[in-house]
Amino acid sequence: MLEHAYAVMAWALFLQLDIRVDCMEQLSTKNGDLRKMVDKVVSWLHYLPCPNKKVVNKTIDEILDIFWKELKHFTYRTGPQQQKKVIIRIP
């Protein structure tokens, strides 16, 4: 069982689709503890001064909503991600 917030975040953002789908399912179990850990990391990354100018004027709750919506679309290839092919080149 993962116990560190950054480890859970790495798992949630894993590039292999079947692992990411499993993660999305697991995030909603165990009283939402894993999801809360991801929320913490996203919040930590957006404390002032926030380097992401697209969200600098948004609340943490708005930023979290954007993050979860984008991750869901990316994982399940829905919304804006539906037609995009993801190409990742690792040197």
Best CA proximity match to 80, nearest among 65, 70, 89: 70
Residue 73 covered by a domain = yes
Supply φ then ψ for residue 59, to 5 degrees: -80, 165
Residue 90 covered by a domain = no
Fill in the DSSP letter of residue 4.
Answer: S
Residue 86 covered by a domain = no
Q: What is the pLDDT of residue 43?
A: 92
* Residue 32: domain span: 5-81
Q: Look at residue 90 and tell me whether its pLDDT is greater than 60.
A: no
What is the chain's mean pLDDT, rounded?
82
Residue 65 covered by a domain = yes
Residue 47 covered by a domain = yes
Residue 88 covered by a domain = no
Average pLDDT over residues 55-74: 90
Residue 87 covered by a domain = no
Answer whether the bond into residue 49 is a cis peptide, omega within 30°. Answer: yes
Residue 12 covered by a domain = yes
Distance CA 39, CA 67 (A): 9
Q: What is the pLDDT of residue 71?
A: 86
The structural domain count of the chain equals 1
Predicted confidence band of residue 65 (pLDDT cuts 50, 70, 90)? very high
Model confidence pTM above 0.85: no
Q: What is the pLDDT of residue 75?
A: 80
